[in-house]
Chains A and B, each alone.
Chain A
Amino acid sequence: MFEIEGLFIKFLLNFFSNLEINTFLRSPQNTATIIGGLIAISGALLGTFLLLRGMSLTSDAISHTVLLGIVVAFMVLTQLLGQEPDLSSPWLIIGAAAAGVATVVLTEAIYRSGLVKQDAALGLAFPLMFAIAVILVSRFVQDVHMDEDAVMIGEIGVAWADTNSHCLENCEAVTITPDSPEAEFSRQCTNCRELGIGPRDEGAVFSEQCSNCGEYSPAQAWQAGLLETEPLLIFWPKSITVMTLITLLTLAFVLVFFKELKLSTFDPALAAALGFRPGVLHYALMVTISLVAVGAFEAVGSILVIAFFIIPPAAAYILTDNLSRMLVISSLIGAAGAYFGYDLARGSVLGLFQVDAVLRGLNRAFDLKLAETWNSSISASMVLMMFLFFFAAWVLSPKYGLLSTWLRRQNQEKNFDIQVILAHIFNHEGTDKEREELAVGTLYHHFRWPASTTRRMIDQLLSNDLIYIKDGIVRLTSDGKERVEVFRETQLARETVIQ
């Protein structure tokens, strides 16, 4: 990990100074947005295939057990192997991802036993895995990264602070021993703690101890003032590296196996017949999803991550019918959700208005005594933003949106009405009953519409130049005749086809 980071930083230094990079990354907003965006993109890519395969809630299963995998791997590493792993340790990630895949296998096995239905097997398995994980966390793990809050909402807001420091120039590690000229000494009571006495008691024994001895990395040495020339240092948040690698892996998986994924999603039988091994692909997909869920765990917790898999693809699904476009759109929506979500957590809704103002308004209107500063969870706000985009897509989608569906229906009704009037005129024009059936004033009788509606329709037909009025009788223009004939022909053709 560390070496890859180093290479990437060297690459970046071609374009930016180290100061610029450090300032950029030290802003919580930039780091949180980058991490959130990466999670959103990889989640959206994989979630699209989950949605199309009708397996959206599998991400729910995986994210719940990934927690158990992390906790168990964490306990094994610390207590059996004596390591001090953090959440970017590759072993932790691999172990947890394996646990995620194991759950999928387990739930499939449970409902294949035939004793428990599929939904019940899922509903039973996730809470159990999660329950065991929570019990282990609250009982055995004493670590800042593992409390219950972190499980719920993640720590994306402080991800900027957990860094690897990279030194590129003037790197000088310093070791201070009691013989060094820089060593500082202080008098300390050596037996106070074991005897339980204060330093002022008579029995207290003192000795000189070196207070600043030890090894200093270049960064620490510079901060402690032990170096004369400033080393070239970059502080790089660990989560960014992990998430970038996972996102690249996801991207590679989707690009390389695009054809196979597409075929096995839409026609598994054909895929199997052509030798594409849909089963293998299925588990490869599950492995990738588990990896993303593990990578996302530290940032957004193990429940909210479901949203990153489900909501952006659902929004894209409403917007388009094309798989490639759906992948791009869902990634964009996810990334936008991450970007604007940070602002929402700090109280700004898309830059349009402030939540604080709404709270003030509510207080003024209903006297609720609410606190008037909105400062909330970043990860939850990202999810809310995605939901907002989903909602917008649902209402406004040109093809499947609520609005366009409503408009289309209105239009169809109107077109139908027009056809009815034109056909009526066409049928009776030039017959004996012409005067009776087609008089402008009484036309509405024949359709059982209100007079005003009929009047409006006639006005519209007149302005479209489909009919004209002569001697108080409506007649078709040549355009109108043509329209009726075209309609009759298509209708006839359709009926023939049906027969």
Chain B
Amino acid sequence: MLPGFSPEDRRVWLLIGAITLITLLFLPYSQFVLGVRYDYTLRTVAIGGSLLGIISGVLGCFAVLRQQSLMGDALSHAALPGVAIAFLLAGRELGFLLIGAGVASWLGVQFIRLLTDTTRIKQDTAMGIVLASWFAAGIALLAYIQARPDASQAGLDTFIFGQAAAIVEKDVRLIAGIGLATMFLLVLFWKEFKLITFDAEFAGANGFRVNLFSTLLSTLIVVAIVLGLQLAGVIMMVGMLIAPGIAARQWTNKLTQMVTLAAIFGGFSGGVGAIISALDTDLPTGPMIIVVAFLLVVISISIAPQRGLIWQLLRQRQDQKRFAAQMVLDDLFHYAYDHDSLSTVVPESFLKGMRGSAVKQGLQQLVNKDQVQPVNGGWQLTEAGRQAAADNATNTLMWDLYRQYNQTLDLPLIAEDRQRDIRELLPETAIHKLEKILQEELA
């Protein structure tokens, strides 16, 4: 595996390592700076929260990549009646509640598929129908359960908004067990899942059983949703499922890296959200997790290398600056050229009329490079400026010639980027050929 690493890959892995370290720093930070005491209960809650966050973060990647984010929303709402019925039949036993939730979600998926297959109703409407009516059934059943005289229904509400404090050690073991099983399946069928996620048609054409693996992957996602319900609650579950994946997607273009990073982000938001809400009974867990996860998304979208908004903005600014200087230089050169002497003083109003507000920036840069100088209210090219402008003009002409003759002269193919010096991009022989044509044309 190691020899196959490209420098790009290595950089991202290093970045992931650094992010992991930073997230782990939360533990000592909370302990020594914020004064959180990790007693037995809080440890259980924190571990349970991070485990659930990791599982849903990892599987959520596939939901994000397959553009099924809203399916996650529908499925988590659809789990509620299953929880209520399981409670009616078996009491508050986590295993049964999860099975009930899973069955109800699964029925929801099947109903959506049946509806879209047999009618002209589109998938989004079908999801809306299942989401609303399954949820209503759950609410109706909960209201019925709450009207019962015995108080044992306490704790069912946690499935709506999530309640980290309700997680006990037995639950953590169950979560860890199911989590390991899903991760095992994920690793086992990694190649297949990757293929159907990115190119289902290609997979089908090559004899992969797309339907089978697609169902298996959906089932795993249902498992992640159902497990996460007790932490995030039915309404906020979709956020916990997809937010880590969306954040991770910004840092990398590789599935392995994305899934690893999503696990870290998921674990962090699950753990931190659980801890915060366990410390303060007023704060429901689900919303806290969503807020933490969303912060991670905002950070990722802003600062992730290359894709991040900040870098995009900086790149734009840089381009603008570079263009500004070049444009102003061009304008000066042509004005002076048209007035027969390259030492003509060009009035600033002319430049402003041509380019507007970018002129000031451009002139400043040109002055810094000593290419122009102010002369009584106008601007004049210096010796260096004339040279640079002439070079630019030649470069532009060379690009024009390249575009015109690259096929007839059999020149090497390069991407057209007129801001760059063509002499740096083409081999010397090619430049000679172009220069010869240039001489002829000028003559």
Contacts and interface: CB of A to CB of B under 8 A. Distances in A.
Given A128-B290, A128-B291, A380-B136, A120 B124 contact: no
Interface string A35-70: 000000000000000010011110110000000000
Contacts of B250: 115
B133 A384 contact: yes
Nearest to B238: A123
Contacts of A276: none
Contacts of A402: 118
A370 B118 CA distance: 36
A99 to B, nearest CB: 17
B137 A304 contact: no
Interface in B114-129: 115, 118-122, 124-125, 127-129
Contacts of A122: 69-70
B291 A132 contact: yes
A347 B294 CA distance: 42
B132 A307 contact: yes
Contact of B283 (A117, A123, A139): A139
Given A127-B236, A383-B133, A317 B121 contact: yes
Interface residues of B, number: 59
B67 interface: yes
Given A132-B291, A135-B288, A120 B136 contact: no
A234 B419 CA distance: 79
Interface stretch (A191-199, A281-289, A371-379): A371-379
A134 B239 CA distance: 14
A354 B402 CA distance: 85
B284 interface: yes
A377 B139 contact: yes
A288 B37 CA distance: 50
A304 to B, nearest CB: 6
B291 A384 contact: no
Contacts of A384: 133, 136-137, 140
A384 B243 CA distance: 31
Nearest to A383: B136
B354 interface: no
A123 B73 contact: yes
Contacts of B88: 368, 370
Majority DSSP secondary structure for residues of A touching B:
helix
A75 B198 CA distance: 46
Sort chain A's interface into a size bin. 35 or more
Interface in B284-331: 284, 286-288, 290-291, 294, 297, 301, 307, 309
B133 A127 contact: no
Contacts of A59: 128
A314 interface: yes
A117 B64 CA distance: 8
A57 B236 CA distance: 16
Contacts of B443: none
Interface in B220-275: 235-236, 238-239, 242-243, 246, 250
Interface of A: 51, 54-57, 59-60, 113, 115-117, 119-120, 122-124, 126-128, 130-132, 134-135, 138-139, 148, 152-153, 303-304, 306-307, 309-311, 314, 317-318, 345, 368, 370-371, 373-377, 379-381, 383-384, 386-387, 390, 394, 400, 402, 405
Closest 7 CB pairs of A and B: A307-B132, A127-B239, A131-B287, A383-B136, A123-B69, A387-B133, A131-B290
27 contacts: A54-B122, A55-B124, A60-B128, A60-B131, A115-B250, A115-B301, A115-B309, A117-B64, A120-B67, A124-B239, A124-B246, A127-B236, A128-B291, A130-B236, A131-B236, A131-B290, A132-B287, A134-B284, A135-B287, A303-B135, A310-B125, A311-B132, A377-B139, A381-B136, A384-B137, A394-B118, A400-B119
